[in-house]
Amino acid sequence: MTKYVVKRVLLAILTVFIVCAITFFAMNAIPGGPFDGEKAISDEVRRVLEQRFNLDKPVWEQFFLYLNNLLHGDFGVSAKTGREIKTTIFSSFSVSAKLGGMAVLVALISGVVMGSIAALTRNKLPDRLIIFFSTLFTSLPSFVLGTLLLLVFCIKLKWVPVWSSSSHNYVLPVIALAAYPMAYITRLTKTSMLDALGQDYVRTARAKGVAQWKVIFKHTLRNALIPVITYVGPMTASILTGSLVVESIFTIGGLGSKFVECITNRDYPMIMGTTIFLATLMVTMTLITDIVYKLIDPRITLE
């Protein structure tokens, strides 16, 4: 286990480095810069700003200077606001984490429950209804569903204000973010449950007269959840990093909307800091999932 964890941590560091390098050089290859906005600035001011952000140096030198600062925990400051990037990321991520955490819980609990019901009522009305809606939600991107929810419940019915920072108004964005993973978990749980129900140990338990609820919860569902658990890590990272457009639609001041804003403003330091943070989050969640997978099912070997 220790050898595997060390190997995966090194691979994660390499992955983040590659993402960092690709993002850095891609930004420098795009015409324009963070100071090419609608407000004209004098050549002297531009020169001072470029010196401050090392933009007057060759690209390769800029990259190694940035890596050196990064290794010392310095993400730099925003080229637009002058605020520390680390502070901006952590303050806005707390909002995204709250939204994403609720979406993960909704997707996981609803998906497992509906998938189990679909498996236990195979080819009956509940099963067909659940599969119909899971197929529908799988086909709808989160930003499309978010826009539809906004139009219907905020603008048409006026049940929810278009913008509000209170927790109960997170309902619509949570639904928009949770719909796809919930549908995927539903189908995954159903498939795993049907496979588990056909195993010999389930037949043996039933032949011994074990209670039906015990067969389902102790023998069937427990083993059926293993594939679901492998999806939880990537799903969590995907929800936390994929809320960019949804946060913008519902005007939630999370990391997603900040990321869209810094791309629009060509705030290169902020883009770099946010990208590295999100990449680190993704590889960390994947690593945690693999370790938990091994702990739950010792039969799995970590190669």
Burial class (CB in 10 A: 0-12, 13-18, 19+), 210: middle
pLDDT surpasses 70 at 231: yes
Alpha-carbon distances, residue 162 vs 116, 124, 126, 259 (angstroms): 35, 39, 34, 21
* Mean local confidence (pLDDT), 174-201: 88
CATH superfamily of 94-266: MetI-like (1.10.3720.10)
d(CA 180, CA 99): 15
pLDDT surpasses 70 at 225: yes
Q: What is the pTM of this model?
A: 0.77
pLDDT surpasses 60 at 168: no
Among 138, 106, 130, 230, which residue's Cα sits nearest to residue 190?
A: 130
Provide the sign of the torsion angle of the four alpha carbons 266, 264, 92, 18, taken in this order: negative
* Mean local confidence (pLDDT), 134-143: 88
d(CA 115, CA 187): 6
Q: What pLDDT does 38 receive? A: 54
pLDDT surpasses 90 at 182: yes
Q: What pLDDT does 19 receive? A: 92
Please give the full DSSP string across the chain, using - where no structure is assigned.
-HHHHHHHHHHHHHHHHHHHHHHHHHHHHSSS-TT-SSS---HHHHHHHHHHTTTTS-HHHHHHHHHHHHHTT---B-TTT--BHHHHHHHHHHHHHHHHHHHHHHHHHHHHHHHHHHHHTTTSHHHHHHHHHHHHHHHS-HHHHHHHHIIIIIIIS-SS-SS--SGGGGHHHHHHHHHHHHHHHHHHHHHHHHHHHTSHHHHHHHHTT--HHHIIIIIIIHHHHHHHHHHHHHHHHHHHHS-HHHHHHTT--SHHHHHHHHHHTT-HHHHHHHHHHHHHHHHHHHHHHHHHHHHH-TT----
- For residue 77, what are the β-bridge partners? 84
pLDDT surpasses 60 at 70: yes
* Mean local confidence (pLDDT), 202-222: 76
d(CA 129, CA 114): 10
pLDDT surpasses 80 at 171: yes
Q: What pLDDT does 105 receive? A: 93
- The chain-wide mean pLDDT, for the chain, equals 82
pLDDT digits (tens, 9 = 90+) for 79-94: 878 888 888 888 888 8
Among 104, 103, 129, which residue's Cα sits nearest to residue 117?
A: 129
* Mean local confidence (pLDDT), 39-55: 72
34 contacts 50 by C-beta, under 8 angstroms? no
Q: What pLDDT does 166 receive? A: 54
In the chain, pLDDT over 90 holds for what percent of residues?
A: 19
Specify the length of the chain in residues. 303
pLDDT digits (tens, 9 = 90+) for 275-299: 999 888 888 888 887 777 767 665 5
Query: Which tokens in the block code for residue 9?
Result: 């941590």
d(CA 99, CA 84): 24
Alpha-carbon distances, residue 191 vs 122, 188, 236 (angstroms): 11, 5, 21
Alpha-carbon distances, residue 284 vs 57, 183, 244 (angstroms): 33, 24, 20
Q: What pLDDT does 227 receive? A: 82
Res. 55 pLDDT band, cuts 50 70 90: confident
